[in-house]
Amino acid sequence: MTIKVMVVDDEPHIRKILQTVITKNTAFEVVAGCDNMTDALIAFNEKKPQVVFMDIEIKGSSGIDCAKVMSGINPDVKIIFATAHSEYMANAFELYAFDYLVKPFDMKRIEHTLERIERSMAEKPVDTYVSKEVAEEEKKDKILIKGKENVSFLDVDDIVFIERVDNSTHIYTKTREEYVTSMSLADFEEKLDEHVFVRSHKSYIINVTMIKRVEQYGRRTYSVYFKNMDKDALITKEKYDQIKNMYE
C-alpha cells in the first residue's frame, strides 16, 4: 500500500518540484496539492493523506495554523514543514513536526526525509485512515462545514438543529455558536445518523435527543423547542408522529 502525501505551498513550481521528487519513490503517492488553508483542509478531509509537506507561509494564512488543525483531525499525520526562513523552525517543532526542509531544497535531503518516513511507518504501520471502519466512525464524529472563506470541523454531537434560510444553511450548536454554509440540507442528511437527526420539515433537520418540548403551531405543524436553546424549529405532524413512535 502506497503512502499518501499532500503538498501545501503557494508556489506552483515548488509543488511541482516536490511532487516530482516524492513520486520517484514508488512507496509514495501525491494525492493533492493546494496553495491555501481552506482548500488544504478540504483536501485533507477528503483524501486522507498520511504525510503533508507544508510551507510555513501559504496564501492568506499560516502553514503552522493549518498544520495545527490537521494534527487535531489526525494526530498521526506526519507534517514536514518547508520554509526559506529558518527562524520559523522553533515554532514548527512545537507542533511535533516530523521534519523540516529549508528552501532552496536539497534533493538528497528530501529523499532522506522520505526514507525516514518509510522506515517509521514500517515500524509502526498504524494509520487512522487506512481502516474503512475507522474512517466511517470518524466521519460520524465530525462533520466538515464549508463556509464562504473557511472550513470548520464540527463535532456532530454538538449540533442541535439545522435550518435552511433562503440560499444558505444555518447550523445551531449546544455552545450557541452558529455556522453558515451554502451546503444543502440534503448534504447533511447524507452525513448524519438518521436515527438521531430527522428531517422534520422542508427547512429543518433536528437532533431528536435535544428536544425539550413540542407545541402546536399550525393545523399540521408544530414548534420544536430545545434544551438550553432560545431558538426553535418546525416539525410536520407526520414527522412528529414518527418521533413519538420511536420513543414509545
Beta bridge partners of 197: 207
CA 175 to chain centre: 19
Segment 62-103, tens digit of pLDDT = 888 888 889 888 888 999 988 776 555 555 555 556 877 888
* Domain boundaries for CATH 2.40.50.1020 within the chain: 140-247
Cis peptide upstream of residue 125 (ω within 30 degrees of 0): no
pLDDT of residue 131: 41
* Domain boundaries for CATH 3.40.50.2300 within the chain: 3-130
Cα–Cα distance, 51 to 90 (Å, whole number): 20
Residue 206 has pLDDT above 50, yes or no: yes
Segment 2-33, tens digit of pLDDT = 999 999 999 999 999 999 999 999 999 999 99
Is 2.40.50.140 the CATH classification of the domain at 140-247?
no
pLDDT of residue 82: 83
**3-state DSSP of the chain:** CCEEEEEECCCHHHHHHHHHHHHHCCCEEEEEEECEHHHHHHHHHHHCCCEEEEECEEECEEHHHHHHHHHHHCCCCEEEEEECCHHHHHHHHHCCCCEEEECCCCHHHHHHHHHHHHHHHHHCCCCCCCCHHHHHHHHHHEEEEECCCCEEEEEHHHEEEEEEECCEEEEEECCCCEEEECCCHHHHHHHCCCCCEEEEECCEEEEHHHEEEEEECCCCEEEEEECCCCCEEEEEHHHHHHHHHHHC
Cα–Cα distance, 68 to 24 (Å, whole number): 29
Segment 104-145, tens digit of pLDDT = 888 988 998 899 898 888 765 444 444 444 444 444 477 878
Segment 220-234, tens digit of pLDDT = 999 999 998 999 999
pLDDT of residue 221: 94
pTM for this prediction: 0.55
Structure-model confidence comparison of residues 238 and 126, the more confident one: 238
Cα–Cα distance, 55 to 15 (Å, whole number): 10
CATH superfamily to which 3-130 belongs: Response regulator (3.40.50.2300)
